[in-house]
Structures are given as structure tokens and as C-alpha cells.
Amino acid sequence: MNDINKNYNKHKKIYLGIVILVIVIIIAFSVSMLIVINKKPQEVLASKENSDISENVSNGENSNNSIGKGVNKITAINYDSDLENPTTYTVIEPEKIEKIAKLLANANWENCKNETGAAGIKTIEATDRDHYSWYIKVEGSTEAEFFMYGVAVVKIKVNGQEEVYKIGEMEYKEILAAFNIRYYLHKSDLEKPEKSQILELRAKIFEDLTNEEILEIQELTRWTHVHMEMQLLDSVNVIKDPNSFYWEQYNYGGTFTNPLTGVGSDTIDCFNMKLQKLKKIKDIIKDEETKQEFENIIELLQKSMDNHDLGGCFKVHEFIHDYDYFAINYPAYFEDTPPPDWAGINVYFGHLKFIE
């Protein structure tokens, strides 16, 4: 009997210990849940505060509601044109405001807050006005400022809060291009000339030339065409304004010091190089009518360079394009490049004088 009582007491103590342990675990769990519940609203609030700017300028419905709507005025200042007297654009037309606001709201903004090596971050932290090339101010239900640094890095202020973002280069260019004239490399609805017309003109251009001279003209024309396109694509957004200091760099190349950043660079491929190539082509050609046509192209390019006329430079590209694809290098081809990459190969601008 004593043994039974001893075993009973022993088991009773074990059961009691288990019950106490369970009660302690339940109490501890309940306390921890209360802490989490009380802490969560604070975390959500802090998270919301930190994401306000991001939501205002990143993709999504919030960005469209904050920047894409309720805008009544957008002002942009292009410091690339002239540091002392920069070109200012004031947009109040609803359709244009909507277009620009959508570009700003829908861009893929990537926060640079945690990065140390992102391009331009040190410059931006200095908040030095002389280092950014464009300034955009959005006015309306949301006040937003965009400081465009020319390196696809943008400092943004939304309702007083400030963050630094990276953006895709093409999106960056699209935003700036929305404030002034848009240029196209390959925009024409004209039908391509007939093969017989092309072959007749090509024979006329090559008249009395040696095989070596023909090959040289073909190489010079293709080089000028390709490099003209590359330069226009590279420079279009910084030389749209005739007062832009970048004309100095893209006209004649050489060593150029950017007055915004104080950084120097060497530019080799410039409009003047295309001018010299065109002069070589003209000098080789013996057909007087074709020689005069190239003299006209040369004069147009020189005039466009002197007057800082980007539209004239694009027109020069059209002439070179037509002579390359539909005369001198017909049928057009590119070595080591697949046909889908032959930009504008089926576009004709109508600048050739065919034999009638």
C-alpha cells in the first residue's frame, strides 16, 4: 500500500509539473502575441512613411494617382543649353501635361539609398545646382521636383521628402525629349524605288571609276552613314537646343570640358569627321551631277553645324541613307550582322535623282 501511495504521489508531481509547464508556455505565447500586435501598427506606419516617395514615383496605381493626376503645370529648365540663361519650358496644355506626367509616373525608378557606388551619388549628395543638367517641377495636388543629372540618376522631392533613384537610360531620354522637338532616324512612308532605277543611278555614279575607287566610295559612304546615325542617337537629347554648349563637343570633337561637371573628355567621332568623309566621296566621283549633289549635302551639313541646327543634321542623314541603301551600296547588306538588325533598310526618304 505504501508503494502504491509513493507511485501515486510521484506521478502526481510529474502531472502537476507538466500542467505548470503548459500554463507557462501559454502565458509566454500570449504575451509575445500582444507585443507583436502592438508593434505591428508602428512598423506598418514606419514602412509607409519610408515608402511614400517610392510609391509616388514608381510603377503602380499609387504613382499614377499622385503624379499622373491633378497636375496643372510642369516647368522644365535645361541647364545643358546655357548655365547663365538656360532654356525654360512651361507646359500648361492638358494633353502634354498628361503625357509628361505619365512618363514620370510610369518610369521604372530604382532607389539608390543603399548603394555606395552608383554613378553620380556623391554629386547628388552635395546638392550642387551646377551638377545637374535638367530640373523639372510638377505642380498640382502633388508637388514634385526632379533633378536630372545626365547619368540616368535622378534626385526626386515629393511633398518635401527627398530620395535618389536610378532610371533606365531610354526612359531618362524619353522624359527629356517630351519637352521639345522629337526627331526620327527612319520615318518615311515613301515607296522604295524600282531596282532598274537604282541600277541605272549606281552605274551613273560609278562612271569612269576604277574598281579601287568604287570600293573606296562604298566604304566611305557606309562608314559615314553608320557613324552619322550613331552620333545623332548619342547626341540628340543634348543638342536639340541651338544654344547647348554640347554643340562644341559634337561639331569638332577634340578635348571638351563639361561646364556642368568640370569633367574633361576626348571626342573623336564628330560631325566634322562626316564632313571630311563626304568631301572625299565628292572628290572621287567623276559624274558632275552626282558631284554637285554631294556638294549640296556638304553645304547643308556645314550650315547645320554653324547654325547649331539639329534638324539639318537629320536631313543630311536622310541623303546619306538614300545614297548608301538605294544607290552606292545597293543591294544593302551588313557583314557579320543579321538582317533584323539592319535599321531602316526598307526606308526611303526620296532624295535621289533617278535617270528619267
Q: Are residues 327 and 232 in the same domain?
A: yes
- Residue 35 is predicted with a pLDDT of 47
What residues make up the domain containing 66?
A: 61-177
**224 or 165, greater pLDDT:** 224
Q: What are phi and psi of 71, to 5 degrees?
A: -95, 130
Whether residues 92 and 150 share a domain: the answer is yes
Q: Is the pLDDT of residue 315 over 50?
A: yes
Report the distance separating Cα 156 and Cα 113, nearest Å: 12
pLDDT of residue 44: 38
Report if residue 22 sits inside a domain. Answer: no
User: Which has more confidence, 234 or 53?
Assistant: 234
pLDDT tens-digit series, residues 27-72:
555 555 544 444 444 443 333 333 344 445 444 333 334 555 678 8
Whether 71 and 144 map to the same domain: the answer is yes
Are 159 and 210 in the same domain? no
Say how far residue 159 (Cα) sits from the centre of its chain.
Answer: 26
State how far Cα 20 lies from the chain centre: 68
Average per-residue pLDDT in the chain?
A: 77
Chain centre distance of CA 133: 14
Number of domains in the chain: 2
Residues 18, 11: Cα–Cα separation, whole Å: 11
- Same structural domain for residues 200 and 138? no
Q: Is residue 274 part of a domain?
A: yes
**Of 38-42, 258-262, 288-292, 314-318, which gets the smallest average pLDDT?**
38-42
Residue 355 lies in a domain: no
Instruction: Specify whether 305 is located in the same domain as 219.
Output: yes
23: left (phi over 0), alpha (psi -120 to 50) or beta: alpha
Assigned domain for 215 exists: yes
C-alpha grid cell, residue 71: 497636375
Residues 214 and 334 in one domain: yes
| β partners of residue 91 | 74
User: Which residues, including other chains, have CB under 8 Å from residue 238's CB and lie 6 or more apart?
Assistant: 80, 133, 244, 246
CA-nearest of 107, 171, 101, 163 to 136 is 101
Residue 246 has pLDDT above 60, yes or no: yes
The reply to whether 156 and 209 lie within a common domain is no
What percent of the chain is predicted at pLDDT more than 90?
A: 34
Checking if the pLDDT of 164 tops 90, the result is no
Q: Which of 126, 147, 177 is the last residue of a domain?
A: 177
> Both 332 and 252 in a single domain?
yes
Tell me: do 84 and 138 sit in the same domain.
yes
Tell me if 186 is assigned to some domain: no
* 81-102 per-position pLDDT tens digit: 666 778 788 888 888 888 888 8
Quickly state the pLDDT bin for 9 (edges 50, 70, 90). low
Q: What's the CA gap between 77 and 285, in Å, rounded?
A: 47
**191 φ, ψ to 5°?**
-75, 150
Amino acid at 6: K
Residue 271 contacts residue 305 (beta carbons within 8 Å): yes
